[in-house]
């Protein structure tokens, strides 16, 4: 977790837990590298989790989240259980505002759940930790530092000696194809290059899992395709486990081992679609398009345009609540 990520957290997040445990580390703890470490002994996984499946890296068990703001409750996540295995790329796709970012923040330990548990390996997640890296849609890089020193940040904070972190940064810059730009400044880079820096910064600390919240959402279609190809290359070289939030059905089917289709808010798992092919994939086959169509149908079924907690003018008009065709199978899904 970078200082930027730490600073992006909601400082009140840790106060929500009834059991008194803090979720957000103090900056001192974080600088000492204790963030995310469980204060007590690791908890045994209950028998309803995967038990003997040691390949499971993230185990989400009956997680629920209700926000309370100014006395108003917003139930974002109803009940989600899912396992992510080592080396898998699992995508979550669902209607805008259904709770995808909330779910990712729960897995990151940036927010406490209202119910349920997230396990990272066999440890209960009680806060952020270096075992989970984040990649943001808006890159969240430090513009006053060079490309290389942005990539090195996590190791620098962990107190890794200069020569070692420099060698590691070179290695990860090579993996994301930016070795020639090591000494460039962030404002000299295109959007796609900035996001490659973001990915290298997450990879360098060698986390168990990388969490990506619509990482290519801010990029144009062509750059987005290039980034997807690059991510596939990275997966080949690193076998990194990734949890990926996307709005694009095409992107989900192109990249994922598993696509988890979420319902509208309060969200739960609608359907888990396994994608049985190795990567890279051919986007033009009838089979590829048939899986895309299947996912679009699940999404269209969920796409209720009216927010039930805050009735909008739409609700009293003649506009149908369900808007067929809102989700597109070709590119992104508009929100």
Ligand X SMILES: Nc1ncnc2c1ncn2[C@@H]1O[C@H](COP(=O)(O)OP(=O)(O)O)[C@@H](O)[C@H]1O
- Binding mask 83-102 toward ligand X (x if CB under 6 A, else -) reads -------------xxxxxxx
Site for ligand X in 247-286 (CB under 6 A): 265
Nearer to ligand X, 150 or 303 (CB): 303
Identify each DSSP E strand in the chain by its residue range: 56-69, 72-85, 89-93, 115-120, 123-124, 132-135, 209-213, 241-245, 258-262, 267-274
Question: Does residue 299 touch ligand X according to CB under 6 A?
Answer: no
Site for ligand X in 52-71 (CB under 6 A): 67, 69
The binder of 230, among ligand X, Mg ion, none, by C-beta within 5 to 8 A per type, is none
The phi, psi pair for 82, rounded to 5°, reads -160, 150
Question: Does residue 101 touch Mg ion according to CB under 5 A?
Answer: yes
Helix 191-203 × helix 162-175 angle, to 10°: 130
The phi, psi pair for 132, rounded to 5°, reads -130, 120
Nearer to Mg ion, 101 or 328 (CB): 101
Nearer to ligand X, 178 or 219 (CB): 219
3-state secondary structure of 288: helix
Nearer to ligand X, 160 or 304 (CB): 304
Map tokens 């103090």 to a residue: 26
Question: Does residue 289 touch Mg ion according to CB under 5 A?
Answer: no
The distance of closest approach from Cβ of residue 249 to ligand X in the complex, given in angstroms and rounded to an integer, is 15
The distance of closest approach from Cβ of residue 286 to Mg ion in the complex, given in angstroms and rounded to an integer, is 32
Count of residues engaged in binding Mg ion, rule: CB under 5 A: 2
Q: Give the C-alpha separation, 5 to 141, whole Å.
A: 10
Contact 172, 151 (CB under 8 A): yes
User: Under the rule (CB under 6 A), what is the footprint of ligand X?
Assistant: 67, 69, 74, 76, 96-102, 265
């Amino acid at each position: 977790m970078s200082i930027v990520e730490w600073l992006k957290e909601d400082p009140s997040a840790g106060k929500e837990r009834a059991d008194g445990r803090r979720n957000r580390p103090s900056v001192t703890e974080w600088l000492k590298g204790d963030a995310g470490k469980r204060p007590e002994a690791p908890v045994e996984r209950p028998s309803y989790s995967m038990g003997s499946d040691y390949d499971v890296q993230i185990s989400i068990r009956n997680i629920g989240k209700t926000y309370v703001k100014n006395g108003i409750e917003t139930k974002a996540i109803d009940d989600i259980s899912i396992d992510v295995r080592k080396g898998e790329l699992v995508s979550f796709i669902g209607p805008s505002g259904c709770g995808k970012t909330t779910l990712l923040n729960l897995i990151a330990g940036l927010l406490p759940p209202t119910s349920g548990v997230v396990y990272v390996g066999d440890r209960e997640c009680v806060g952020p930790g270096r075992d989970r890296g984040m990649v943001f849609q808006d890159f969240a890089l430090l513009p006053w530092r060079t490309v290389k020193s942005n990539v090195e940040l996590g190791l620098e904070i962990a107190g890794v000696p200069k020569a070692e972190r420099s060698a590691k940064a070179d290695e990860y810059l090579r993996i994301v194809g930016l070795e020639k730009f090591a000494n460039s400044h962030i404002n000299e880079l295109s959007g796609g290059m900035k996001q490659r820096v973001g990915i290298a910064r997450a990879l360098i600390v060698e986390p168990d899992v990388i969490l990506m919240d619509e990482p290519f959402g801010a990029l144009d279609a062509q750059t987005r395709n290039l980034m997807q190809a690059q991510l596939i290359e990275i997966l080949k070289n690193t076998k990194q486990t990734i949890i990926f939030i996307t709005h694009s059905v095409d992107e989900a089917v192109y990249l994922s081992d598993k696509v988890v289709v979420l319902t509208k808010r309060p969200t739960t798992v609608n359907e888990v679609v396994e994608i049985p092919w190795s990567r890279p994939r051919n986007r033009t086959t009838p089979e590829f398009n048939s899986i895309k169509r299947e996912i679009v149908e699940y999404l269209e079924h969920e796409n209720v345009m009216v927010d039930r907690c805050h009735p909008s003018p739409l609700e009293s008009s003649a506009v149908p609540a369900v808007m067929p065709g809102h989700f597109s199978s070709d590119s992104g899904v508009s929100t």
